[in-house]
Structure 1
């Protein structure tokens, strides 16, 4: 299991036993490691590894200030005149993550099913609970029951520590893993879902509603604007940055190996500097992806919802990143 040979020296009472050494502004990511000393500072929600997320002179919450008004203040027609690529997505948004300026927008306030983008909030609620990451979690048959049947390589009875379960949920988008995180939360699934909705309300995600932790329920809805808020918040967590942008990981369950790859091809191929990523798909949502990326030293958030296919999603994401790379810094 992940780091099992090193877990013996860890505290059994603190979520902060996981240290993920990653630089949010470069593509160089060091291997996952375990530590008892550095993780608490890294995993607390206010952590941004030295990046000031609040504009100078402002005392307002960075997420509210930068995202609460910027996307709604921009007319989608601004981008219809060759100022951005044509995308097949039903909704899209590109935002400068440093200034909060919306650079590209298409139906960004339209609320629609978000599928597994849900799992970013699942990860945030898990992190905020400061649970013991070395605690073993055994998947229960109930974790495989939901509004839809979803493909999975996991089985009831599989046992992993909470860090591995979170990695499975973020990197491989495994639905039973996300369900298990909610089930093992203090107060169980009802408390977990309540925390998800309370957090989204706190962040000003006015178009968002959560009914469960995986994204299989089409009633989990959001807008491209709200998902930009979610990405900005998730970026503050080193564990989410690292796990969601891990290209591959081999899970040793003791009795079998699970060779897993990131669901985002742009993360797997390594051609772009992607700091955080999450994909999603159910029929009602289409293909979705959110990313925090750095292009030509510009940190940016990219959101695509309602793509007709994985190929279209990858093509649109690549086109937007290529377009972004050609923008002047002071656009």
Structure 2
């Protein structure tokens, strides 16, 4: 069985989430990285290293404040997931961002900046509009895969159906039918490089197959209170995968509690050794590759119907924040919007 490279370190975070730490070699590439034995992978996802959480976010509601800003509040009920979702404080004071005259200009169709600890909405534009989300879909694909506690060292062989895409869209530029990888590599391919066949294979090899996987995606969205969200497949190639910036703020806050998703989505580069060829791969988010921001989770997306999309969980001036951008006209415009929003948020006072 083929596995990822050289070493794995499993440790506990403050929220009992198993972390995977990849050891960088010279330069920015992470050449010597993970080794997955069946025992280690099963420990990671099936309890020896991880404490099963018993809480999950079930409802998050946007509430207006008297000052004109908003807040996302949550209700929590019992569930079994890989890690606990953040519980938003109901008593935190609301930051009146509307009083600031220097709010950044955002050219994307929709945008959101939210304080990840309190649920305070610091910036909003068309946050409740349901839009195609392209490969932002893969964040939910990763959450559903992680929640299933499947064997991450299990070998997956890519099949022709994994390349079918949607509406004739190109599915991959590098992977081929017959390529073999373990489930951890497929997840890394999907999150870091946004490889559609890898995401499709994760759904195909889920217990019950693709239909069960898509049902689990939609069930998770309902459980989290993502009322504007619908999924039809696991890659994002289908424009019927829709969500709002508000809903994606909830999803990113939840996904940020999974150490596996944080690590894989923010890996700057990785050399995938498939045994018969090596695929040198870079993260699709140049803001991650360049290393100028403290980004904890990242995912880009693009199809024509969605435009350029980006979601991030980042730390700005010691404030954990979620940044959502949907429908930018091109990659540079998307990055410019993100940079303006993060720079502006970094200068905000935390309370008034």
1:242 corresponds, among 238, 258, 263, to: 263
Asked if residue 139 in structure 1 is aligned to residue 158 in structure 2, the reply is yes
Give CA-to-partner distance per residue, 1:270-308, whole Å, 9 cap, x none: 000000000000000000000000011100000000000
Matches of 1:74 and 1:210, distance apart in 2: 33
Name the residue aligned to 2:279. 258
More helix, by proportion: 1
Residue 328 of structure 1: how far off its partner (Å):
1.1
Matches of 1:231 and 1:217, distance apart in 2: 20
Name the residue aligned to 1:15. none
Compare relative contact order (CA 8 Å, sep 6+) and give the higher one, 1 or 2. 1
Asked if residue 306 in structure 1 is aligned to residue 327 in structure 2, the reply is yes
Aligned positions of 1:84-123 closer than 5 A: 84-123=103-142
Matches of 2:307 and 2:99, distance apart in 1: 23
Name the residue aligned to 1:51. none
Aligned positions of 1:58-73 closer than 5 A: 60=76, 66=88
Matches of 2:100 and 2:349, distance apart in 1: 17
Q: Could you say if the C-alpha distance between residues 63 and 160 of structure 1 is closer, same or farther in structure 2, counting changes exceeding 3 Å?
A: closer
Q: Could you say if the C-alpha distance between residues 112 and 59 of structure 1 is closer, same or farther in structure 2, counting changes exceeding 3 Å?
A: closer
Asked if residue 191 in structure 1 is aligned to residue 215 in structure 2, the reply is no
Aligned positions of 1:262-273 closer than 5 A: 262-273=283-294
Matches of 2:317 and 2:21, distance apart in 1: 22
Matches of 1:43 and 1:251, distance apart in 2: 27
SS at match of 2:235: coil
SS at match of 2:281: strand
Q: Could you say if the C-alpha distance between residues 151 and 162 of structure 1 is closer, same or farther in structure 2, counting changes exceeding 3 Å?
A: closer
Q: CA RMSD in A?
A: 3.0
Q: Could you say if the C-alpha distance between residues 32 and 110 of structure 1 is closer, same or farther in structure 2, counting changes exceeding 3 Å?
A: same
Unaligned runs of 5+ in 1: 8-17, 23-28, 49-57
1:39 corresponds, among 39, 44, 50, to: 44
Q: Could you say if the C-alpha distance between residues 274 and 31 of structure 1 is closer, same or farther in structure 2, counting changes exceeding 3 Å?
A: farther
TM-score by length of 2: 0.78
TM-score by length of 1: 0.83
Matches of 1:232 and 1:170, distance apart in 2: 16
More strand, by proportion: 2
Unaligned runs of 5+ in 2: 9-17, 23-29, 56-73, 78-83
Aligned length: 301
Asked if residue 297 in structure 1 is aligned to residue 318 in structure 2, the reply is yes
Q: Could you say if the C-alpha distance between residues 167 and 45 of structure 1 is closer, same or farther in structure 2, counting changes exceeding 3 Å?
A: farther
Give CA-to-partner distance per residue, 1:137-161, whole Å, 9 cap, x none: 0000000002122342000000000
